[in-house]
């Protein structure tokens, strides 16, 4: 046997290729900020911008023309408070963005996914209501659920095709599902960040979304990076609570988790190539240490091969341009 027989030419290699990546597999994250004509580059994420609503519409049009599957929307509110009220404000920044995007021609070609969390909207930067006991602070799980449910309902009403809770509170999927159904939004799917690890690779995102915790860290609600079995339990619970799709995060340092989820659960599944994965590749591109196009595509291919149906990635536009 000579394995090299089928590697002799590009047409032969293409014929026997087991995994494909297409622009339609990509979800492009957008960070929407107040103002008009605003396009502010995130210092730690070359090519990623905070954009005002009008610029977000322009981004959506470009994404649609490239065949990208959808957008994942985050918000940078005008002001923050203890509860994160900006998250469910009818006039909140993402709600405004959704209404404008829905008016655009691009909307019919893209899935508009709204991130549901409080950390971008709370003054303390945590993903829920803070409770103090003695000298320690923590996020209070159950009071947070109602706020997340309100945010999900508000975002769905504003036009989100899918709501995506990313907070890692226990019971949030059920709370959100119940609230959506009660408001006549029973056809709005929930994409649950079911398996989200407390990761150093989120660092640059906190620049982009201005959501760094002002004290402590997120280890009491996000998962310990050492735990694969626990990730499967988290997914199981979210599906029981009514999640329609699941999202795994981060991707590259957790490809075994992505693969195990693919083996264990027959539901649509995405993986989030997070900010740190993007930024470290860009740092190497800037140094000339890695080839931009090849390393980018290989990083995406690996995530698909591990089992993800779709990939949330800051490379969406760059990769789509190469794959068209």
Q: Which residues bind Zn ion (CB under 5 A)?
A: 117, 119, 127
Is the CB of 165 or the CB of 307 nearer to Zn ion?
165
SS3 128: coil
Is the CB of 74 or the CB of 254 nearer to Zn ion?
74
Is the CB of 218 or the CB of 304 nearer to Zn ion?
218
Catalytic residue among 80, 102, 135, 249: 249
Is the CB of 117 or the CB of 271 nearer to Zn ion?
117
Q: Which helix (H) or strand (E) holds 317?
A: helix 316-323
The two beta strands, 191-196 and 26-32, are unpaired
Q: What are phi and psi of 212, to 5 degrees?
A: -70, 135
Strands (E), 70-188: 70-75, 111-116, 129-133, 136-140, 162-165
Among candidates 66, 25, 75, which has minimal Cα distance to 309? 25
What CA–CA distance (Å, rounded) separates 20 from 4?
21
Q: In the complex, what is the shortest distance from the CB of residue 301 to Zn ion, in angstroms, rounded to a whole number?
A: 29
What CA–CA distance (Å, rounded) separates 292 from 57?
27
Is 196 a residue of the active site? Answer: yes
Q: ∠ CA 104-278-323 to the nearest 5 degrees?
A: 60
Q: In the complex, what is the shortest distance from the CB of residue 251 to Zn ion, in angstroms, rounded to a whole number?
A: 18
Is the CB of 25 or the CB of 210 nearer to Zn ion?
210
Is 135 a residue of the active site? Answer: no
**Which residue's C-beta sits nearest to Zn ion?**
119
Q: In the complex, what is the shortest distance from the CB of residue 124 to Zn ion, in angstroms, rounded to a whole number?
A: 11
Catalytic residue among 80, 196, 287, 317: 196
Q: In the complex, what is the shortest distance from the CB of residue 223 to Zn ion, in angstroms, rounded to a whole number?
A: 14
Classify each residue of 264-276 as buried b or exposed e, where b means 16 or more C-beta atoms within 10 Å of its C-beta: ebebebbbbbbbb
Active site residues: 196, 249
């Amino acid at each position: 046997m000579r394995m090299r027989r089928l590697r002799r030419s590009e047409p032969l290699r293409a014929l026997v290729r087991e995994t494909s990546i297409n622009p339609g597999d990509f979800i492009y994250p957008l960070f929407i900020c107040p103002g008009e004509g605003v396009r502010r580059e995130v210092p730690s994420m070359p090519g990623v911008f905070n954009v005002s609503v009008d610029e977000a519409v322009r981004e959506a049009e470009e994404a649609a023309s490239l065949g990208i599957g959808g957008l994942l929307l985050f918000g940078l509110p005008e002001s923050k408070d203890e509860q994160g009220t900006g998250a469910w404000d009818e006039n909140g920044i993402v709600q405004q963005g959704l209404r404008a995007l829905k008016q655009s021609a691009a909307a019919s070609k893209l899935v508009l996914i709204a991130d549901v969390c409080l950390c971008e909207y709370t003054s303390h930067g945590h993903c829920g209501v803070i409770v103090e006991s003695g000298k320690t602070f923590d996020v209070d799980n159950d009071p947070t659920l109602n706020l997340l449910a309100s945010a999900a309902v508000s975002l769905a009403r504003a036009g989100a095709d899918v709501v995506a809770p990313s907070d890692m509170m226990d019971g949030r999927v059920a709370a959100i599902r119940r609230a959506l159904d009660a408001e006549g939004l029973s056809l709005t799917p929930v994409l649950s960040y079911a398996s989200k690890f407390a990761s150093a690779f989120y660092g640059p995102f906190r620049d982009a979304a201005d959501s760094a915790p002002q004290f402590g860290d997120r280890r009491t609600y996000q998962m310990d990076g050492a735990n694969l079995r626990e990730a499967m339990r988290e997914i199981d619970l979210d599906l029981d609570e009514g999640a329609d799709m699941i999202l795994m995060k981060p991707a590259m340092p957790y490809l075994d988790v992505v693969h195990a989820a693919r083996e264990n659960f027959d539901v649509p599944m995405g993986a989030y190539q997070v900010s740190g994965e993007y930024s470290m590749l860009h740092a190497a591109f800037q140094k000339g240490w890695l080839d931009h196009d090849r390393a980018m595509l290989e990083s995406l291919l690996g995530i698909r091969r591990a089992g993800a149906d779709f990939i949330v990635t800051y490379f969406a536009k760059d990769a789509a341009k190469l794959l068209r």
